[in-house]
């Protein structure tokens, strides 16, 4: 599509150089530049894959890799030359003092992008066929580049390579007369077109380099490695082993031929097996490209091992791959926790016992909300948010200096139950209260049942005192605080026996904020 736009714009130049055509050239040139950037990244990816194959098998891939490097240098040098031409014509056209100034200017910012006098002199010179200008130099470099690039490809594949960069023609002017490549491309061609033509040549160079490099890459024998990465794999059935059981794992080379058997050896208690100690290590027998490692769990703790896999590639070369892994041996243990009792109370310090089998150096729990900290051998959960619904504890244990995640546990969050309001130590269930005791201990105190395990303190902040009057009427006194006021004491002192009194609308404040509590009703003895 970009090539078609370029041809149309070149034809329009012969008719009229309008602002719209200049703008169109800028758009096409920017598209070609973007295409060149994409081609460059695509080539980098191809060379990266090529290099992997070369590193895995330099003896076989080496000749092809070296030719690819030649192709890369030829193309890189040629494109640098084209870039230098682009800078020179911008410098000549806009009259910049230095090469460096012109190098920074984008086509859209060139002032005389519609000029062709200085560029024609530069490319064509004083000759009638362009032989005395830079266009002839460029043409010769193109021909040499094509020749050297094709020489890198096996002769039987050269006719499949689409090099492009045609300098032979035939080429014709607007009157249908034959003309040389130099005149066809650069005679009386405005600067905007010249820059676009040069970037189009760069695109053809990238395309030629890509085709040649892919041809060299595909020429590597089908017997060679065809994947991007090869490495040792340890696949354990379990990394947690109880005393008396054994650790089992499959060790294999990913994507390797199952018809061959690797030579596998390992050592215990190490992170690395040196090739020099390979013969002294324990050998593992296997088949179909894999071996099964079995290690006894005779003692508790973190166990580790390391080893080497030796395989022979299709060319007969021996390749070495290292592997390592670790596992935990622990005593069997059992923890039974009723799910519906996994509760933390808000506003109190909740004790938690956390144990990890296997003898870890330390246990590091974290909690999703609130705070958890050590308290001797146990832990305390506190500062839980009012209104929260659940908290998740995550436990990490450290074995041999390495931290391992041991799992999580979810707890529901609940408010502590309401305390019971007492006055002078009496509750509603007590029925009668001596007026002298009531007056002498004149305060409302919230208390929790004896079987409630948390030590909490709530303080009454307000209540309403209600008492039966002598004529059947009702006295109501609202109070702030928890003490009996002189007015209430007077009512109690003057009350007759068996008269009822109530403490209603009780509000108390505790660690989790204020709450309303059930009142208390008694009779005067």
C-alpha span between 107 and 227 (Å, rounded) = 43
231/178: higher pLDDT? 178
**Mean local confidence (pLDDT), 259-276:** 84
Predicted confidence at residue 237, as pLDDT, reads: 65
The kind and range of the H/E element at 468 are strand 459-468
The mean pLDDT value of the chain amounts to 82
Chain-centre distance for alpha carbon 146: 44
C-alpha span between 149 and 128 (Å, rounded) = 31
Helix 58-94 to helix 19-56 angle, to the nearest 10 degrees? 160
C-alpha span between 367 and 354 (Å, rounded) = 13
Q: CA angle 300-306-308, nearest 5°?
A: 155
Paired residues of 405 in beta bridges: 396
Counting Cβ atoms within 10 Å, is residue 165 exposed (0-12), middle (13-18) or buried (19+)?
A: middle
Dihedral angle over CA of 252, 254, 258, 260, nearest 10: -70
Dihedral angle over CA of 224, 226, 227, 232, nearest 10: -30
Residue 239 clears pLDDT 80, i.e. is over it: no
C-alpha span between 391 and 414 (Å, rounded) = 11
**Mean local confidence (pLDDT), 282-289:** 80
Residue 1 pLDDT class (50, 70, 90 cuts): very low
Weakest-pLDDT range from 321-335, 366-380, 465-479, 510-524: 321-335
**Mean local confidence (pLDDT), 154-167:** 82
C-alpha span between 143 and 159 (Å, rounded) = 16
Residues 319-344: pLDDT tens digits? 888 888 887 776 655 454 545 568 88
317/98: higher pLDDT? 98
Rg, the chain, Cα only: 45
SS (H, E, C) 427-452: CHHHCEECHHHHHHCCEEEEECCCCC
Among 373, 454, 367, 375, smallest CA distance to 415 is for 454
C-alpha span between 177 and 430 (Å, rounded) = 125
Residue 148 clears pLDDT 90, i.e. is over it: yes
Among 112, 61, 1, smallest CA distance to 223 is for 61
CB-based contact 519:506 (threshold 8 Å)? yes
Sign of CA dihedral 447, 451, 455, 456: negative
Residue 470 clears pLDDT 70, i.e. is over it: no
**Mean local confidence (pLDDT), 96-108:** 86
Residue whose entry in the numeric block shows the structure tokens 């060149």: 36
* DSSP per position, 176-245: S-B--HHHHHHTT--HHHHHHHHHHHHHHHHHHHHHHHHHHHHTS-TTS--SS---EEEEES-SEEETT-
**Mean local confidence (pLDDT), 256-268:** 76
Q: Reduced to 3 states, what is the DSSP secondary structure of residue 306?
A: strand
**Mean local confidence (pLDDT), 408-415:** 88
Residue 513 clears pLDDT 50, i.e. is over it: yes
Residue 39 pLDDT class (50, 70, 90 cuts): confident
**Mean local confidence (pLDDT), 364-378:** 89
Residue 152 clears pLDDT 70, i.e. is over it: yes
Residue 225 clears pLDDT 60, i.e. is over it: no
**Mean local confidence (pLDDT), 502-516:** 89
Residue 399 clears pLDDT 80, i.e. is over it: no
Residue 176 pLDDT class (50, 70, 90 cuts): confident
Predicted confidence at residue 9, as pLDDT, reads: 45
Residue 79 clears pLDDT 60, i.e. is over it: yes
Exposed e or buried b per residue across 317-354, where buried means at least 16 C-beta atoms within 10 angstroms of its C-beta: eebebebbbbbbbbeeeeeeeeeeeeebbbbbebebeb
C-alpha span between 203 and 32 (Å, rounded) = 7
Predicted confidence at residue 221, as pLDDT, reads: 57
Q: What φ, ψ does residue 180 adopt, rounded to 5°?
A: -65, 160
Residue 56 pLDDT class (50, 70, 90 cuts): confident
DSSP annotation of 156 reads: G
Residue 251 pLDDT class (50, 70, 90 cuts): confident
Helix, strand, coil proportions of the chain in percent (round to 5)? 35, 30, 35
Q: What is the pTM of this model?
A: 0.43
Residue 6 clears pLDDT 50, i.e. is over it: no
List domains and CATH numbers for the chain.
2-218 (no CATH), 232-330 (2.60.40.10), 339-415 (2.60.40.10), 420-524 (no CATH)
Dihedral angle over CA of 292, 296, 302, 305, nearest 10: -40
Predicted confidence at residue 140, as pLDDT, reads: 93
CB atoms within 10 A of CB 20: 10
Pairing status of strand 282-284 against strand 318-330: unpaired
Residue 478 pLDDT class (50, 70, 90 cuts): very high
């Amino acid at each position: 599509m970009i090539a078609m736009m370029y041809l149309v714009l070149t034809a329009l130049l012969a008719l009229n150089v309008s602002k719209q055509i200049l703008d169109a050239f800028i758009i096409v040139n920017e598209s070609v530049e973007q295409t060149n950037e994409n081609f460059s990244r695509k080539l980098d990816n191809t060379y990266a894959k090529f290099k992997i194959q070369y590193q895995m098998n330099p003896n076989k891939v080496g000749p092809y890799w070296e030719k690819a490097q030649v192709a890369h240098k030829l193309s890189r040098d040629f494109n640098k030359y084209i870039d230098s031409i682009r800078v020179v014509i911008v410098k000549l056209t806009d009259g910049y003092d230095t090469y460096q100034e012109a190098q920074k200017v984008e086509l859209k910012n060139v002032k005389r992008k519609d000029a062709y006098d200085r560029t024609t002199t530069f490319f064509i010179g004083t000759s009638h066929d362009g032989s005395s200008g830079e266009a002839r130099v460029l043409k010769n470099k193109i021909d040499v580049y094509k020749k050297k690039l094709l020489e890198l490809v096996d002769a039987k594949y050269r006719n499949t390579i689409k090099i492009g960069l045609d300098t032979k023609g035939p080429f014709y002017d607007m009157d249908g007369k034959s003309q040389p490549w130099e005149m066809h491309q650069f005679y009386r061609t405005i600067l905007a077109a010249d820059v676009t033509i040069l970037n189009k040549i760069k695109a053809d160079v990238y395309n030629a380099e890509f085709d040649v490099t892919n041809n060299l890459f595909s020429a590597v024998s089908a017997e060679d490695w065809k994947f991007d990465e090869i490495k040792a794999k340890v696949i354990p059935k379990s990394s947690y082993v109880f005393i008396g059981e054994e650790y089992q794992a499959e060790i294999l080379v990913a994507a390797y031929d199952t018809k061959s058997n690797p030579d596998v050896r390992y050592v215990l208690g190490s992170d690395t097996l040196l090739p020099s100690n390979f013969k002294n290590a324990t050998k593992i027998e296997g088949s179909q490209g894999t071996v099964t490692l079995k290690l006894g769990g005779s003692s508790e703790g973190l166990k580790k091992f390391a080893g080497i896999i030796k395989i022979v590639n299709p060319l007969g070369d021996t390749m070495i791959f290292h592997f390592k892994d670790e596992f935990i041996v622990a005593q069997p243990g059992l923890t039974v926790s009723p799910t519906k009792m996994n509760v933390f109370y808000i506003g109190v310090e909740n004790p938690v016992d956390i144990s990890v089998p296997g003898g870890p150096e330390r246990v590091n729990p974290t909690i999703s909300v609130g705070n958890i900290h050590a308290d001797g051998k146990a832990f305390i959960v506190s500062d839980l948010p009012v209104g929260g619904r659940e908290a998740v504890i995550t436990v990490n244990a450290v074995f041999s200096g390495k931290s391992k995640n041991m799992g999580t546990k979810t707890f529901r969050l609940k408010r502590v139950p309401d305390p019971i309001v007492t006055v002078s130590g009496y509750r509603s269930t007590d029925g009668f209260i001596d007026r002298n005791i009531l007056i002498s201990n004149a305060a409302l105190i919230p208390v929790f049942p004896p079987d409630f395990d948390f030590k909490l303190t709530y303080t009454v902040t307000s209540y309403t005192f209600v008492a039966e009057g002598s004529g059947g009427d009702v006295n109501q006194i609202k109070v702030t605080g928890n003490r009996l006021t002189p007015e209430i004491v007077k009512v109690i002192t003057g009350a007759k026996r068996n008269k009822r009194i109530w403490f209603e609308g009780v509000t108390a404040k505790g660690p989790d904020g204020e709450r309303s509590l059930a009142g208390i009703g008694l009779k005067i003895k």
